[in-house]
Structure 1
Amino acid sequence: MTASLRARRGVGVAGLTTLLLASLAAPASATAADFPAGYTGYHTYAEMAADVAAIAAAHPNIVRRFSIGTSYQGRTIWAVKISDNVNVDENEPEVLFDGLTHSDEHMGLEMTLHIMHWLVDGYGHDLRITKIVDTREVWIVLAVNPDGAEYDISGGKFHFWRKNRQPTPGTPYIGTDLNRNFGYRWGGGGRTSTNPAAITYRGPFAFSAPETRNIRDFLKSRVVNGRQQIRTAITFHEAGRLVMWPYGYTYANVPVDMTATDHNALVIMGKHMAATNGYRPEQASDLYITSGTTRDYEYGVYRIFAYTFELSVVDYPDDALIPSETGRNKEAVLYLIERAWCPLGVLGTATRIARCGAFDDDFEVSRGWQINVEGTDTATAGRWQRGDPQRTATSAGIKQPDGVTSGRFGFITGLSAGSSANANDLDGGSSSLESPPIDLPAAAGQRLQFRWTFAHDTASTSADEFRVEVVDVTDGGTMTTVALAQGGPFEQNAGWHLSSLDLTPWAGKTIRLRFSATDGGPNNLVEAGFDDVRVTQPQ
């Protein structure tokens, strides 16, 4: 580290001692590396590790340093959590930033370090940043690919090395493009190669690289009660000055694995951030088709509103550009942290009231619903399933709809059509499903809203049911029926209905929602489904 860099970061003698210790603690496979002349303002792995350690030691109340794993060559992948009460997992919106996935994109590490410093240095001095730290949990993975980055500057020169340093079995080639190795739509087309010699080599299988497994496992660790806690994210790359939203794997603006509502919010936030940093906003595939990327994985699997920022205008910008290139992104970073409380809130007041309450689930991804929690279900077929329903019908009309009310998936009693309308309907008794715990604010006026369908034939009786109950967890699990549809000796065809029910009696409590369907007799046809379950903001 140069004297000028020590002065800029305020490392001093104590920090330099920490830096030297970090260097000595590096794995045996690592070699000392430094940037070429004119680029020494960038951080090496050892300098980054020392900076992070010093910040965590100086600010233990708001910074927690931890490892999310190790690289192929054994380097620690350092991360920090920044929040008040940093050692407590609070019920606060979470945000993720990562950098240096591609090892020749060194500005990405500078970006993650600057975010860390903005939040830490501003806490208690800047009202906006103080509020952010007090009301959010911010996660920063400083350098995803340290092996590649150290190799890229080895010998005091740039090697234009993009991949990690993991040998490909059965070949003489080294390295996997980590941003083609994630498990969502892995192996697709575009600039994604099956050739181990290529810079965009996808790896022999999804998550074949330890570095991508580290990110995968960290994301999984932030699933609490079945629900991903991270709401927004940016992965920093280089170059081109772009703000890009999902997806990269397809040119379609709204493919089957994205809702129009999500797309609209992604675009609005992306364009807003681009207006603050002067970047060009676009869907990722507008640049070129990619598959197996960090961004697509985060949104596709968890519905994290994830973006890629392409920093700088050239590869290897000199170090004099670090302050301006990182600084121009400060407003965008703070904005996305603030938006994490409810990304869909950017769509206006009506959407904010409906979608930004205590609970919101469109069932497009799995979010912790559990079947037969009490162990009392008796159905022998047609139990609740999450997915895309197939149409069934009798001469009297449609009994199971072909599709749900938004997106692609909902909960249905037996998704498949089968050979007849009776083939996969609910049979033999009841099937139940419960939501994760929902902490309701103390305010009155919250409403439970959901779409539902319930169909039967003329053999039905009042023993056939679609029932919705509120389970009062705070009060020991007391169940209260809030909605009930019953059968009868007439044809009831499928159709989606909207229910909106007052939850004021449970304000300030923890509840679960229980949906059940019952086939109460032999030789009848019963189908049910529900979708788009939400608890609104107080009205």
Structure 2
Amino acid sequence: MKLSVILLAPLVLATAVPKQERKITYDGYKAFRISTEHDAAAVKEKLAGLSVVPFNFNTEEHLDIAIAPEDITAFEALNLTAEVMHEDLGADIAKHETFSAYEGVTAQAIPSLTWFNSYHAYADHMQFFNDLQGAFTQNSEIFTVGNSGQGRSIFGIHLWGSGGKGSKPAVYFHGTVHAREWITAKVVEYITYNLLVQYSNNTAVKTVLDSYDFYIIPFVNPDGFVYTQTTNRLWRKNRQTRTSSSCVGTDMNRNWPYKWEVTGGASTDPCDETYKGQAAGDTTEIKALVAFTQTLKNSKGIKLFIDWHSYGQYILTPWGYDCSLKPANHARQASLASGLATRIAQSYGTRFTTGQACAALYATTGDSTDYLTGAALAEFAWTIELRPTGSSGGGFVLPAAQILASAIEQWEGMKYLLAAM
């Protein structure tokens, strides 16, 4: 049974005329983490016929889903072992998608740290980066790698130190690949903010920025992100349409042209959340990102790539496509990942699981970290799944009160990693 088809397929039929779409509220939906007791197939069979929204793809131990109001009684009658994630998913979404107005710059001509107290509209994110770069014109610039399928700029910010622009190996970050993972943009914004603000008065930060050129793209999937703010908070994919299907969107983290053809780590069904596309790298966004990534490879090379996601609290090293294969520098990567997890935990006690992506989480094909490792030859290429672990933290709808703590613990972790690698 493919749970994603039950609810999500009907929601995308009207996407050819976006202005006519009604906002999906999820009012009255109740979300649960169900223990699968290592028999996910049996649990899914019991759920057959219920209107559900699936959250996770690693279902070996648990299945995170939201149940439509009309099916909650039937679900509870199944007597499955489950914890409540959201009593009312719609109410929690409404609570945490109330965007605060951007307060602009401080007297020091930099954005205020109050930015990290709440979520914001897409246009405000763009202004935040413009303002931040405007305060540090001597060692930063805004760049674009191309446009999204709907014509939005895939923009980033480039930071450099005393060696001058483009003189050092690249540290390369991606955020908001999956549209509903709002916390990822906030985390990369906080890291960017601190690299620039602390460069002049923190010796450790100055050393890092003098050693690497940073290329940070906060919205790999701008179309999907905007769609989560206007129409469907739980949308995952991009917004690409295809003449062969009424279903919309491709999972851009299954579309990179490396091991894309391997089976088992993505879906060939356009209606599925992990749809890989019709051909390797056939999305507008990935075409642009591949070209940009290759320019970094062919310049000074890529030291570190991190693809920021949520949720689950994982630090994942290659490979995603093969659970038995290890990169040549596996031991070094494992050691650094363990050190990173230790440093993250020092801030608030948040525990991250480390391991190879395929073995520690689930198999993926055509993903960014495999491409960066196998095709772009990055020394380290990781996926970090941010807060929460799941049932106690709100899943994709991370409370705004946790934005700053999530960002701080990642920044502390990055200071360790960037100095140690």
Give the TM-score, by structure 2 length: 0.68
> What is the Cα deviation at residue 338 of structure 1?
2.9
> What is the Cα deviation at residue 188 of structure 1?
2.2
Q: Deviations over 1:269-295 (max 9, x none)?
A: 111111122311011012111100001
RMSD: 2.4
Structure 2 counterpart of 1:317: 398
Q: Cα distance 1:327–1:204, how it changes in 2: closer, same or farther (>3 A)?
A: same
Distance 1:113 1:121 in 2: 12
Structure 2 counterpart of 1:241: 313
Q: 2:195 touches 2:209 (CA, 8 Å); kept in 1?
A: yes
Q: Unaligned stretches of 5+ in structure 1? A: 17-38, 344-539
> What is the Cα deviation at residue 84 of structure 1?
2.2
> What is the Cα deviation at residue 302 of structure 1?
2.5
Structure 1 counterpart of 2:277: 203
Q: Deviations over 1:489-518 (max 9, x none)?
A: xxxxxxxxxxxxxxxxxxxxxxxxxxxxxx
SS in 1 for 2:375: helix
Structure 2 counterpart of 1:113: 189
Q: In structure 2, what residue type is equivalent to 1:195?
A: D
Distance 1:15 1:212 in 2: 32
Q: 2:117 touches 2:401 (CA, 8 Å); kept in 1?
A: no
Structure 2 counterpart of 1:71: 148
Distance 2:336 2:182 in 1: 26
Q: 2:313 touches 2:387 (CA, 8 Å); kept in 1?
A: yes
Distance 1:87 1:56 in 2: 16
Q: 1:166 touches 1:174 (CA, 8 Å); kept in 2?
A: yes
> What is the Cα deviation at residue 2 of structure 1?
8.0
Structure 2 counterpart of 1:289: 363
> What is the Cα deviation at residue 322 of structure 1?
0.3
Q: Cα distance 1:161–1:86, how it changes in 2: closer, same or farther (>3 A)?
A: farther
Structure 1 counterpart of 2:165: 88
Q: In structure 2, what residue type is equivalent to 1:338?
A: A
Distance 1:190 1:239 in 2: 22
SS in 2 for 1:105: coil
Q: Does 1:267 pair with 2:334? A: yes
Q: How does 1:238-387 map to 2 (within 5 A)?
A: 238-254=310-326, 258-259=327-328, 262-277=329-344, 278-286=351-359, 287-304=361-378, 305-313=380-388, 314-339=395-420, 343=421
**Count of residues paired in the alignment:** 306
> What is the Cα deviation at residue 212 of structure 1?
1.2
Structure with higher strand content: 1
> What is the Cα deviation at residue 131 of structure 1?
1.7
Q: 1:237 touches 1:309 (CA, 8 Å); kept in 2?
A: yes
> What is the Cα deviation at residue 169 of structure 1?
2.8
SS in 1 for 2:418: helix
Q: Does 1:149 pair with 2:216? A: no
Q: Cα distance 1:125–1:180, how it changes in 2: closer, same or farther (>3 A)?
A: same
Q: Does 1:97 pair with 2:199? A: no
Larger Rg: 1
Structure 1 counterpart of 2:289: 215
Q: Unaligned stretches of 5+ in structure 2? A: 1-96, 345-350, 389-394
Give the TM-score, by structure 1 length: 0.54
Q: In structure 2, what residue type is equivalent to 1:51?
A: F
SS in 1 for 2:335: helix
Match of 2:121 among 44, 69, 74: 44
Distance 1:336 1:40 in 2: 26
SS in 2 for 1:307: strand
Q: Does 1:125 pair with 2:201? A: yes
Q: How does 1:222-233 map to 2 (within 5 A)?
A: 222-224=296-298, 229-233=301-305
> What is the Cα deviation at residue 44 of structure 1?
2.5
Structure 2 counterpart of 1:29: none
Q: Deviations over 1:444-490 (max 9, x none)?
A: xxxxxxxxxxxxxxxxxxxxxxxxxxxxxxxxxxxxxxxxxxxxxxx
Q: 2:185 touches 2:219 (CA, 8 Å); kept in 1?
A: yes
Q: In structure 1, what residue type is equivalent to 2:303?
A: R
Q: Deviations over 1:5-58 (max 9, x none)?
A: 634x6469x999xxxxxxxxxxxxxxxxxxxxxx99223321111011111111
Q: 2:98 touches 2:119 (CA, 8 Å); kept in 1?
A: no
Q: 2:176 touches 2:182 (CA, 8 Å); kept in 1?
A: yes
> What is the Cα deviation at residue 86 of structure 1?
7.9
Structure 1 counterpart of 2:66: none
Q: Does 1:187 pair with 2:261? A: yes
